[in-house]
A and B are shown apart, each in its own frame.
Chain A
Amino acid sequence: DAKTTQPPSMDCAEGRAANLPCNHSTISGNEYVYWYRQIHSQGPQYIIHGLKNNETNEMASLIITEDRKSSTLILPHATLRDTAVYYCIVRGNFGNEKLTFGTGTRL
């Protein structure tokens, strides 16, 4: 079973920041938070991941709460090309661990 809960859908105005929340209250100490997105009829695309510190890359920012029970993915300037289903996944980081997908958020 997925260890995360996300709202089923969200809307965002083009050019504005999109903030996608995720709850992972049962996350273990050695588990990372990963975000992927899936554009229609394509394979999922990696966005970002983090353990406990906030992370930023060219695609997005990841804000993880201090207790690590929730996180927010921020797309700073959303465009139509960001329309996708966004998946928040918790996973260990030992190389061969599988990803268990929840239902995701349709943005």
Chain B
Amino acid sequence: GAVVSQHPSWVICKSGTSVKIECRSLDFQATTMFWYRQFPKQSLMLMATSNEGSKATYEQGVEKDKFLINHASLTLSTLTVTSAHPEDSSFYICSANGQGAIGTEAFFGQGTRLTVV
């Protein structure tokens, strides 16, 4: 089946630094990718929709200047957490919807656990 890969799987950073998370669709092209955040014992919350070649669409309450999204190609979207603080510590997950023969369901990356110290 289709594969979405996230990198890194986990990262620890100091307060005030920035962290970049990559999301790649390995065997299909994705014009749209989605970024979610999940706190412990909670469900996934959609942060933003990443559109190839255009600006991302952010959900209400998500700071676009803090969570920078770039979707420069049909197989790569990046999420940069700028000036990270401990409250940004969370599990970040990306997904991409399939197209055509592979089906239209969403394929998820394995997630990135961010810890800000």
Contacts and interface: CB of A to CB of B under 8 A. Distances in A.
Contact of B97 (A44, A49, A97, A100): A97
Given A41-B111, A98-B46, A46 B106 contact: yes
A99 B95 contact: yes
Contacts of B91: 41
B43 A102 contact: yes
Interface of B: 4, 6, 31-32, 34, 36, 43-46, 49, 91, 93, 95, 97, 99, 104-111, 113
Nearest to A38: B44
Contacts of B107: 46
Given A43-B110, A95-B97, A99-B34, A87 B104 contact: no
Interface of A: 34, 36, 38, 41-46, 49, 87, 93-104
Contact of B104 (A45, A95, A100): A95
Given A41-B113, A46-B105, A101 B97 contact: no
Given A95-B97, A98-B49, A99-B95, A44 B44 contact: yes
A42 to B, nearest CB: 6
A100 B59 CA distance: 11
A87 B108 contact: no
